[in-house]
Structure 1
Amino acid sequence: MKTLKANPYYAAGIAAFVIWGFIPFPLKALADYPSGLILYFRIALSVILLVVISLLFRRDTIQKTYHALLSSGGSVKRQFILYTLLGGMLLTTNWLTFIYVINHIDIQTGSFSYLLCPILTAVLGFLLLKEELRPNQWFAIGLSILSCILIGTGELTSLLFSLMIALSYAFYLITQRILRAYDKIVLLTLQLLLAFILIGPFYTFFKGDSTVVLDGNFFLNVSILSALFTVLPLFLNLYALKELTSGAIGILMYINPIMNFVIAFVYFDEETTLVKVLAYVLIFISVIIYNIRFKKHRKNANGMPVPPASAGTLLK
């Protein structure tokens, strides 16, 4: 029964990352437009969608978040404001860099960054939040460093952009862990709203010297990017988290960069080098090693090993 119960949540989680796996298509369709302009309207339209959804369907959650914050101490309020604002800026940086990389460097670089991101998040969690790491996770971190060295020896620019994408999102995830007591949709809406308030007056800066006309094709693709590739997978991901563990979601998230790699080679005819292939294989192996959990056998009062729980019990 538990296995059946979990199926819709697994389906939602898989669907979210499969959708994100296809994100190169709307971004490539916007390749003729400045990256800053794509970011500007992606944030604007995402904020509008999230505010409408929140006001129509999530008023109770907004009120609960507001009252919880109102009843908290001054230091908690300051922490909420600081990390909400910081989260918005980090997400904005991440989106802008990713858009630029996909359209002006290659899809492989963007994909590599999201394979690297979970391990960087673990390192930051260890350094900033004092989270413990298992020996196999340290080994995986070592492999990922070797992978970065291989990429850096061949294409330093690609490595630096991959690190910028991965670090901005890793730091963003750290801010979300600090604010984990609050509703994620409420947080994202506030983060993007604050981000747009800050970048809103700088439209001419984001447009740059471009003379390209913002026609129906532009707004159609940006709308698809905002609704189908931002808001929808976010809701699916949050629905999946209601039943699945963050560890299960962490495994599913690798669907995204793997699909990006396949699309890069099969559809967009991108080329690669032997060094890059070796680096990607190493980072993929490190991801597998990082997620391995070695279970210790429990013993009863007589010193006899206790049999493990059934698969149905473990799937929650």
Structure 2
Amino acid sequence: MKYYLSALTGFIIWGTFALVLKPLGAYAALDILLHRVLFASVFIVIACFLFRRKQAIKSIQYLKTLAGKDRNRLLINIFASAVLLAMNWFLFIYVMNAVSVNATSLAYLICPILTTVLASIFLKERLNRGQWFAVGLSVVSCLLMAYGHFIDLFYSFIIALSYAAYLVLQKNASKLDKFFTLTIHILVSTILLLPILGLIDHSVAKTNEFYSFILIIAIGYTIIPLFLNIYALKGLDSSVVGILLYVNPIIAFFLAIFYYKENINSFQIIGFSLIFIAIIIFNVAYLYERRKTRSIRSL
């Protein structure tokens, strides 16, 4: 249950991301992204070595004990995760401010499907008929949502693929502390993005409001939900965490309708209704399969 709550909490937080991102619409996506990762890097390093010093030291010692091949494989995983994370952040901010809130919602409708497919291919995670039915229902809903919005679909697919691949990469047998791992991901992402710091338009004045929102985004919408996601993967399959991600776009969808007054067509309403049904079917099928497996093992 704690892993479910962890994943749900992270996605509920992300669902309200527009509330802190929209007020920064006057600033370039790259500007927001770089300040976000710089703030997040500083605070996560402080948290890692101040509150989780023992776990960090153990993780460093674990890295030293790994054989050459295993260490290289883990380092490649960390680097690839950081690249995907940086890519996802930039695209999400750009689409949110330059395209629409709906486009980012669509991205996280596609992401669970891609996560499930990638987990099935690369992690050999098996799904039962009920879960595959839910995935099929999700595909139908995404097609309905994308009707007449194919540019949104293109951006959404790239955003979704970057985070789906990131989630799948986190499901590894490494004994590294999850918070330490996240710290490395954010630090590497920051290092990768620093060379483009010169592209920022410094003529745009940064207000106290700007820095306040960036601080909230760095801690409340970056470090906390990412850690909750990685922690959830300790006890849940990647496909399950991926499906729970649907909570994010559902909240964003309601914000788009009732708060930002964006135009929503009947296809989108039907699509989100199918998504809601798919979430219930997938998780009921997953829990049924787990209970069935435990019953067989107890015999």
Q: Does 1:259 align with 2:260?
A: no
User: Conserved in 2, the CA contact under 8 Å of 1:34 and 1:210?
Assistant: no
Q: For 1:220, which of 212, 218, 222 is the aligned residue?
A: 212
Please report how far the alpha carbon of residue 37 of structure 1 lies from its aligned counterpart in structure 2 after TM superposition. Answer: 1.0
* Equivalent residue number for residue 277 of structure 1: 269
Distance 1:152 1:11 in 2: 30
Cross-structure match for 2:103: 109
CA contact (8 A) 1:24 1:260 kept: yes
Q: Distance in 2 between matches of 1:224 and 1:26?
A: 8
2:176 pairs with one of 182, 196, 203? 182
How far residue 230 of structure 1 moved from its aligned partner, in angstroms, is 1.9
Distance 1:69 1:77 in 2: 7
CA distance in 2, matches of 1:71, 1:89: 26
Say which is worse superposed, 229-238 or 127-136, in terms of deviation.
229-238
Cα distance change, pair 290–259 in 1 and its aligned pair in 2 (3 A): same
- Asked if the contact 2:142/2:271 (under 8 Å) is kept, the reply is yes
1:81 maps to what in 2?
75
- Residue of 262, 268, 273 corresponding to 2:260: 268
Structure 1: runs of 5+ lacking an equivalent: 1-5, 299-305, 310-316
- TM-score of the pair, normalised by structure 2: 0.85
Deviation at residue 296 of structure 1 after TM alignment: 9.3
- Alpha-carbon spacing, 1:77–1:237, altered in 2? closer, same or farther (3 Å): closer
Q: Quote the Cα distance in structure 2 between the aligned partners of 1:96 and 1:48.
A: 19
**TM-score relative to the length of structure 1:** 0.81
* Match of residue 156, structure 2, among 162, 165, 171: 162
1:201 aligns with 2:199: no
Q: Say whether 1:44 aligns with 2:38.
A: yes
CA distance in 1, matches of 2:290, 2:252: 36
Aligned mates of 1:42, 1:19 — CA distance in 2: 16
Contact 2:137/2:275 (8 A) holds in 1: yes
Q: 1:124 to 1:248 in 2, by over 3 A?
A: closer
Contact in 2 for aligned 1:115/1:287 (Cα 8 Å): no
| Aligned partners of 2:92 and 2:104 also within 8 Å | yes
- Listed as ranges, the matches of 1:99-178 within 5 Å are 99-178=93-172
Percent of residue pairs bearing the same amino acid type: 36
Give the Å deviation of 1:239.
Answer: 7.0
| Residues 33 and 92 of structure 1, relative CA distance in 2, 3 Å threshold | same
Instruction: Measure, in 2, the Cα distance between the counterparts of 1:226 and 1:42.
Output: 5
Separation in structure 1 between the aligned mates of residue 244 and residue 275 of structure 2, nearest angstrom: 16
CA RMSD of aligned residues (A): 3.0
- Identify the residue that residue 19 of structure 1 maps to in structure 2: 13
Contact 2:62 2:175 in 1 (8 A): no
Quote the offset at 1:237 in angstroms.
5.8
Distance 1:225 1:271 in 2: 27
Aligned counterparts of 2:74 and 2:16: Cα–Cα separation in 1: 33
Structure 1 residues 288 and 297, CA gap change in structure 2 (3 angstroms) = closer
SS in 1 for 2:284: coil
- Note the residue ranges of structure 2 that are not aligned, 5 or more in a row: none
Q: Residues of 2 paired with 1:86 and 1:261: CA distance?
A: 30
The answer to whether 1:68 aligns with 2:62 is yes
- Secondary structure, aligned partner of 1:114: helix
**Corresponding residue SS for 1:272:** coil
Q: CA deviation at 1:84?
A: 0.4
The alignment partner of 1:145 has SS state of helix
* Whole-Å separation in 1 of the counterparts to 2:30 and 2:47: 26
Question: Secondary structure of 2:124's match?
Answer: coil
**Contact 2:41-2:186 at 8 Å conserved across structures:** yes
- For residues 130-157 of structure 1, give each alpha carbon's deviation from its aligned partner in whole angstroms, at most 9, with x where no partner exists: 2222222222332333333334441111
1:248 positional shift: 8.0
Residue 28 of structure 2 corresponds to 34
- Measured in 1, the distance between the counterparts of 2:290 and 2:173 equals 32
- Structure number with the higher helix fraction is 2
Range moving further from structure 2, 183-192 or 17-26: 17-26
1:210–1:157 Cα change, 3 Å: farther
